[in-house]
Structure 1
């Protein structure tokens, strides 16, 4: 009996499990109803059809009887003009240089401060009651220390001894007048110290601008002097073209161009490390075309010990002379170098005919006597002196103003 009951229970459990599986299967097979298809939509083909030919708007599907126009007859829509911002380049303001007349007089205080030792030293020695041999030796040493040079110093001391002996009683005013006269005689007042910038006659017979070459050793302030000289000429009412023939230093070319822009002078330049003679030739050519008054040519700062480079400097001058004569060759010397500047001057004078000297840095530790020594060595006058870093600190050399600054 127990066996029969157990079999019935097992059968009921098995039937219940089978019924649950069936009901569960039916529930999983029910899917949500799909939306009704549009009645006008065609049945989806079972095979993918090839893509239809492309249509261009409705005109491709429904042809019209209108006459077709060619592309030449169809006007294009006008494009809106784009507003282009106007960029105005910044043009540096052209400066008005300080007048050159009396410029050295205006710089007298600066000159007297730097040259005080020479003038006051001589006056102090000459004011002694007894001028014995030892005092005259001190006077001679003072002149030599000021870079006057041996021969000019001996000449000056001899003349002073004779005149003091004749003068007898010596007041400070008498001594000052005596010393002024002798220093002026030593420096010279009859030389032509003007920078020759008058027009020349070219090789073809036409008038050409005045040509000024500026030469000198590296470090003397040659490029700066050329730029300042342009200001001097512009202040005197002349139009200037600058030639940047120092092609070995890009900085020198840029520097010269900046100087020119400040006074409205155009700079002719060439490629870096290019032929300096070619640039100089082009500068004169442009000066002729523009009708300029003066062409300033800044040459490379040659070391006077380099023979090949010095020969090239002579070539620059010869090439420029194919246009016409070079009116001025200015040698720039650093006044602080003293007697060493004479060595440079000799070599440059052998290569090109120096016509004048520009002494720079005369406001520093320079010895004013170098003016006398350089003039004696070259036989040409000092025409310009540099008395500071300012743009208008290059002044025409005036012996009277210079000596007055020396002796106070």
Structure 2
């Protein structure tokens, strides 16, 4: 009996064990397989290979011994790279001063024909009564000839027209030309004194009020002198206007003339003195001094102008004092001229903007007022539009062809 029971127990144990194996195998089959993990494999460093396993050598540029840069040794000379030398600025070639007024005659005649043609038209009338002569006087006074010169001209014209009798256009033109030329006075010395002395250069002082084109005239005058073969030094003594020195230096650089300048607001007399000193050192022919544009009503500034002239004279004489006047201001320019003449000895007049006004008679009036000649006239904005004054060419432009 015990044997039978033992056999039954063994059989049950075998059945249970077999069932667990089956369930376990089923569970294992139902679970999804786990993703295989990717192991990180670190490649061992490459080892140099020799012999048959060696790589094919790469082509590399080879340097010669001259190309190898050796380390610098103390005391060895250092090679300095030479920089390219900048090319010298190209200097302008100004037009010759001789005959400039003839070349610029058309500009002058366009604005002056009112005077010349108006007079010829009146003189050509069949009957020259008092009203006609008054009209002639009005034209002359309007052109700023001045009262006294106008009366002189009218009186001579009246006399000569009566003597002439017949008045053909050619005769009248010749008569008017002769009388106007007498008023302009071709006998005055209009030569600019710009030749150097034995040990010092000629000194030209340029004066005038603000707005007359004084600094520009100084620069253009430098071109006139360079065109005539002079060596020039410029003195920028206008220290009260910020751009004056820069403007003058630009004019000088165009023709190779050196500009002596100082600090803004500096002493004008000191700069003028240094400019003449530099001119002596360089052996220049002419020194041009541009002064500050002074108002003729400011006594202190006018006195300073006298100081500039006295300081320059410590080196030597001032050869020219040129007063720049704006031709468009007419009779107001005469007031300016009187005051300047009281401070410095004016030797010549420069009339600017003469191409833009019909008041060409100012040439006659200012010469009568100061007793000094008009030496230069400005006829445009171009760099070579400053011309030596020639009485014959001027009168021909006034009355036209």
Q: Which category describes the TM-score, using the shorter chain as reference length? A: 0.7 to 0.9
Question: Residue 316 of structure 1 aligns with which residue?
Answer: 308
Report if the CA contact (8 A) 1:338-1:366 is conserved. no
Question: Residue 164 of structure 1 aligns with which residue?
Answer: 161
Question: Residue 62 of structure 2 aligns with which residue?
Answer: none
Structure 2 vs 1, CA of residues 269 and 141 (structure 1 numbering), >3 Å: closer, same or farther? same
Does residue 293 of structure 2 align to residue 301 of structure 1? yes
Does residue 89 of structure 2 align to residue 92 of structure 1? yes
- Supply the distance in 1 between the matched residues of 2:78 and 2:374 (Cα, whole angstroms): 68
Structure 2 vs 1, CA of residues 123 and 291 (structure 1 numbering), >3 Å: closer, same or farther? same
Cα shift at 1:248: 1.1
Structure 2 vs 1, CA of residues 77 and 95 (structure 1 numbering), >3 Å: closer, same or farther? closer
109, 125, 133: which is aligned to 1:136?
Answer: 133
- Supply the distance in 2 between the matched residues of 1:276 and 1:146 (Cα, whole angstroms): 37
- Supply the distance in 2 between the matched residues of 1:108 and 1:75 (Cα, whole angstroms): 75
- Supply the distance in 1 between the matched residues of 2:247 and 2:384 (Cα, whole angstroms): 16
323, 329, 338: which is aligned to 1:346?
Answer: 338
Question: Residue 177 of structure 1 aligns with which residue?
Answer: 174
- Cα deviations across residues 78-101 of structure 1 (Å, max 9, x unaligned)? 6974746x2544643111110111
Question: Residue 400 of structure 1 aligns with which residue?
Answer: 392
Residues paired across the two proteins, number? 329
Cα shift at 1:197: 1.1
Question: Residue 214 of structure 1 aligns with which residue?
Answer: 206
- Supply the distance in 2 between the matched residues of 1:119 and 1:194 (Cα, whole angstroms): 27
**Secondary structure of 2:243's partner?**
helix
TM-score, structure 1 normalization:
0.78
1:373-388 alignment, distance < 5 Å: 373-388=365-380
Report if the CA contact (8 A) 2:114-2:358 is conserved. no
- Supply the distance in 2 between the matched residues of 1:332 and 1:80 (Cα, whole angstroms): 59
Question: Residue 363 of structure 2 aligns with which residue?
Answer: 371
Which consecutive unaligned segments of at least 5 residues does structure 2 have? 1-71
Does residue 191 of structure 2 align to residue 194 of structure 1? yes
Report if the CA contact (8 A) 2:196-2:284 is conserved. no
Cα shift at 1:365: 2.1
Report if the CA contact (8 A) 1:217-1:303 is conserved. yes
- Supply the distance in 2 between the matched residues of 1:75 and 1:241 (Cα, whole angstroms): 51
Does residue 150 of structure 2 align to residue 153 of structure 1? yes
Which consecutive unaligned segments of at least 5 residues does structure 1 have? 1-73, 201-205
Range 86-95 or range 330-339, more displaced: 86-95
271, 279, 282: which is aligned to 2:271?
Answer: 279
